[in-house]
Amino acid sequence: MISVSINGEARHFDISVSVATLLEQMQLGGKRIALERNGEIVPRSQFTQQMLSDGDRLEIVVAVGGG
């Protein structure tokens, strides 16, 4: 089992998943977001290649537009 922290909240997975898969599960696919993994920004172009590991710490920020 893999345990990761997402915005300070623990989340568990049976198998390793990609950042892209995680974002789809969180219904954030296609939205404008910034993602930091263990203190480093992950470029959107690497979301499908970045696989989550046990103990990862993620911070996800969703851009909100308005006027």
The residue ranges of the chain whose pLDDT is under 70 are: 67
Instruction: Scan for tokens 């993994």, then name that residue.
Output: 37
**How far does CA 33 lie from the centroid of its chain?**
10
Predicted pLDDT of residue 67: 62
Please give the domain boundaries of the chain with CATH numbers for all domains. 2-62 (3.10.20.30)
Digit-coded pLDDT (tens) for 29-38: 888 999 999 9
> Sign of the CA dihedral 15, 59, 8, 30?
negative
Residues with Cβ < 8 Å from 29, sequence gap 6 or more? 20, 23
